[in-house]
Chains A and B, each alone.
Chain A
Amino acid sequence: DVKVTQSSRYLVKRTGEKVFLECVQDMDHENMFWYRQDPGLGLRLIYFSYDVKMKEKGDIPEGYSVSREKKERFSLILESASTNQTSMYLCASSAPLTADQETQYFGPGTRLLVL
């Protein structure tokens, strides 16, 4: 089974703090992703990474950065947390379904509250 873990289930931070959300997968997958999920807006892609030290912007990268120093670990960084970043953050790792098709398996999520 694909296993994706996230460092925290719940976090409470203050406005302006630097926040690190960490994600680890144990299946040697190359592709990893960060999404946020908000009521009425659904899941939106923030950043993804194809390989170590590689990163690509998703649909809503503003206010976020990422780091991937090791293949199994993908970190999401909020440089200066703001209240509009209060959300559920979901990490995913991509696994092959067929020779040319992949899909994403999600971690349990981190619910972040920024006060």
Chain B
Amino acid sequence: QKEVEQNSGPLSVPEGAIASLNCTYSDRGSQSFFWYRQYSGKSPELIMFIYSNGDKEDGRFTAQLNKASQYVSLLIRDSQPSDSATYLCAVSSGGGADGLTFGKGTHLIIQP
């Protein structure tokens, strides 16, 4: 059974600070890794994807992947109150065209 683990939080971060969200996965065959953001009552929206070891930056977001440690993280720089949401880590073993396995999400609160 593939598993994706996330700390459920809530994770409280002051406005302007760096928010760090972590995720571990059990399936060593996993190839693609995704971060989704979900506001309350809304559907998940993709914010980052990564499939090679190392860092990938997109604006204020940086995804980090360490396949040897089976660890994925998301950094949000200059956190804003609008970043307050639940962040879902998702993993695919088939390049993303098969179903994704999701973690239960981390609830992030940015304090003004």
CB within 8 Å of B: which residues of A? 31, 33, 40-45, 48, 50, 56, 58-59, 90, 94, 97, 100-109
Contact B102 A42 (CB under 8 A): yes
Contact B104 A102, beta carbon cutoff 8 Å: no
Most buried by B among A40, A48, A56, A104: A104
By the criterion CB–CB under 8 Å, are A43 and B96 in contact? Answer: no
Determine if B95 is an interface residue (Cβ-Cβ < 8 Å): yes
Pairs of residues from A and B, 8 with the lowest C-beta to C-beta distance, nearest first = A102-B96, A45-B99, A42-B104, A106-B43, A43-B102, A102-B97, A103-B96, A109-B43
Q: Which of A40, A41, A100, A109 contacts B95 (CB 8 A)?
A: A100
Contacts of B49 in A (CB 8 A): 97, 101, 103
Are A97 and B99 closer than 8 Å at their CB atoms?
no
Question: How many of chain B's residues touch chain A, expressed as a range?
Answer: 20 to 34
The chain A residue sitting closest to B4, CB to CB, is: A42
User: Which of A59, A90, A102 has the largest number of chain B CB atoms within 10 A?
Assistant: A102
What CA separation (Å) do A43 and B100 show in the bound complex? 9
Within 8 A of A (CB), among B89-105: 90, 95-105
Contact of A41 among B51, B96, B100, B104 (CB under 8 A): B104
**How far apart are the CA atoms of A103 and B104 in the complex, in Å?**
18
A45 and B98 alpha carbons, distance in the complex (Å) = 10
From A44, A59, A94, A105, contact of B97 by CB (8 A):
A94
Q: Is the CB of B88 within 8 A of A103?
A: no
- B32 contacts A by Cβ under 8 Å: yes
A44 proximity list for chain B (CB < 8 A) = 102
Q: Which residue of chain B has the shortest Cβ distance to A100 in the bound complex?
A: B95
Residue of B nearest to A108 (CB): B43
CB A84 to nearest CB in B, in angstroms, measures 19
Chain B positions 63-112 with a Cβ under 8 Å from a chain A Cβ:
88, 90, 95-105
**How far is A33 from B101 in the complex, measured between Cα atoms in Å?**
12
For residue A31, which residues in chain B have a CB less than 8 angstroms away from its CB?
97
Which residues of B are found within 8 Å of A40, using beta-carbon distances?
Answer: 104
